[in-house]
């Protein structure tokens, strides 16, 4: 039975009004305290990166390699999750600071910012979990719901999901290409070629920075620095992949047919976000390191509200879910990780309903 079978159109409309009111309330209260938060976080992240890279210049010593690698990993995670992802969502555009703006920020991964903003902000957040429209449902290579037709190639998906985790930034970089649209005429080969050139340039800059310039600057410690940078990027990728999958693919998350979009109201769009997302329980450090995507439900409802406010919004969203008899998916980190991996394994075989 559908989780929304008991809802009438008036319920959708009223829920929509209540969530709109909540959004307006939070947006109207943004101020210097919020601006100070993101500026301080950027300063801390840059300090960690400088410190990590400096310590790695002495990486012939074991303690220096481990300390520098760990520090650089944390810096890369913060830049990718709590800063880059959220800045490019426009969460801080209200500050009118050209240095912290969705139109100017270029993040520390191989995916060009402009392409990510299209595939993520425009496509994913508009068509969340709609089969055939949201390309984040399985990323085109994974079967994550019984509604996806099974194919023998999916038998190996636990293996290539692990590979995707390690190389996640490259998977994200290729995500917006959508080469299958060339055959349908929705996209031209020239557009794909242009995007590939942009990706190539970004990959080149990242490779030059992490795997050539900094190792050479380390002189005799070039090889340990190179390995440290590879390790930091791989760990950042695995962490980002884990957080994203915990928020989108654990048990209980719903997917929707394209017909859902026909005449969809704002209230119905909100409900689709609620049913298609999951949170992760945890403390302030976990929320920070996940880019507050531990509040994936609140992020899907209000993707352009500053992430530091999600912890304030979450109890009120959960209360509204209770009021309207809707599920509020949340669980411990270990449970959500186990849940999405269990789904990946189960969906590699036929059936699964």
Condensed to tens digits (0 to 9), the pLDDT of residues 160-185 reads: 999 999 999 999 999 999 888 888 88
Domain ranges of the chain: 19-346
CB atoms within 10 A of CB 304: 17
Give the angle subtended at the CA of 278 by the CAs of 272 and 282, to the nearest 5°: 150
Cβ-proximal residues to 1 (8 Å cutoff; 6+ apart), any chain: none
CA-to-CA distance for 297 and 326, rounded, in angstroms? Answer: 12
Predicted local distance difference test score (pLDDT) of residue 45: 98
Q: What is the pLDDT of residue 180?
A: 84
Q: How confident is the model at residue 72 (pLDDT cuts 50, 70, 90)?
A: very high
Pick 251 or 305 by higher pLDDT. 305
* Strand, helix or coil for residue 330: strand
Mean per-residue pLDDT over the chain, rounded? 95
Read off the pLDDT of each residue in 236-243 and give the average, rounded to a whole number. 98
pTM: 0.95
DSSP classification of residue 106: -
- Cα 298 to chain centroid distance, Å, stands at 13
> Which residues, listed in sequence order, are joined to residue 130 by a DSSP beta bridge?
256
Listed in sequence order, the residues at least 6 apart from 317 whose beta carbon sits closer than 8 Å to its beta carbon are 19, 22, 274, 297, 298, 301, 328
User: Residue 30: what pLDDT?
Assistant: 97
pLDDT tens across 196-206, in order? 999 999 999 99
Average pLDDT of span 245-249: 93
pLDDT band at 1 (very low <50, low <70, confident <90, very high): low
Whole-angstrom distance, CA of residue 270 vs CA of residue 300: 8
Tens of pLDDT, residue by residue over 93-144, are 999 999 999 999 999 999 999 999 999 999 999 999 999 899 889 888 999 9
* pLDDT value of position 85: 98
Two structure tokens written together for 34 = 């919020």
* Average pLDDT value for residue range 220-229: 97
Burial 225-248 (b: 16+ CB within 10 A, else e): bbebbebbbbbbbbbbbbbbbbbb
Tell me the mean pLDDT in the region 303-332.
97
């Amino acid at each position: 039975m559908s989780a929304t079978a008991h809802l009438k159109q008036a319920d959708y409309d009223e829920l929509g009004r209540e969530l709109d009111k909540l959004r307006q309330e939070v947006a109207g209260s943004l101020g210097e305290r919020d601006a100070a938060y993101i500026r301080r976080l950027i300063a801390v992240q840059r300090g960690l990166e400088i410190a990590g890279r400096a310590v790695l210049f002495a990486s012939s010593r074991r303690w220096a390699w481990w300390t520098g690698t760990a520090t650089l990993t944390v810096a890369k995670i913060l830049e990718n999750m709590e800063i880059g992802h959220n800045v490019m969502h426009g969460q801080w555009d209200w500050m009118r600071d050209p240095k912290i703006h969705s139109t100017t920020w270029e993040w520390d991964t191989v995916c060009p910012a402009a392409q990510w903003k299209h595939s993520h902000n425009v496509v994913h957040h508009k068509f969340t979990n709609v089969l055939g429209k949201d390309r984040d449902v399985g990323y085109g290579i994974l079967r994550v719901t019984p509604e996806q037709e099974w194919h023998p190639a999916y038998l190996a998906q636990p293996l290539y999901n692990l590979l995707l985790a390690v190389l996640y930034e490259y998977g994200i970089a290729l995500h917006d290409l959508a080469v299958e649209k060339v055959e349908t005429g929705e996209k031209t080969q020239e557009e794909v070629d242009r995007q590939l050139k942009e990706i190539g340039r970004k990959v080149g800059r990242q490779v030059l920075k992490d795997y050539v310039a900094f190792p050479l600057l380390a002189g005799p410690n070039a090889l340990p620095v190179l390995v440290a940078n590879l390790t930091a990027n791989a760990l950042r990728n695995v962490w980002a992949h884990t957080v994203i999958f915990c928020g989108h693919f654990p048990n209980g998350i719903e997917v929707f047919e394209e017909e859902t979009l026909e005449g969809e109201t704002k209230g119905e769009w909100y409900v689709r976000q609620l049913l298609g997302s999951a949170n992760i329980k945890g403390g302030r450090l976990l929320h920070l390191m996940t880019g507050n995507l531990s509040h994936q439900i609140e992020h899907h409802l209000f993707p352009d509200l500053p992430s530091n406010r999600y912890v304030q919004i979450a109890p009120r969203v959960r209360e509204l879910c209770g009021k309207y008899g809707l599920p509020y998916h949340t669980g411990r980190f270990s449970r959500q990780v186990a849940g999405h991996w269990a789904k990946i394994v189960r969906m590699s075989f036929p059936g699964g309903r």
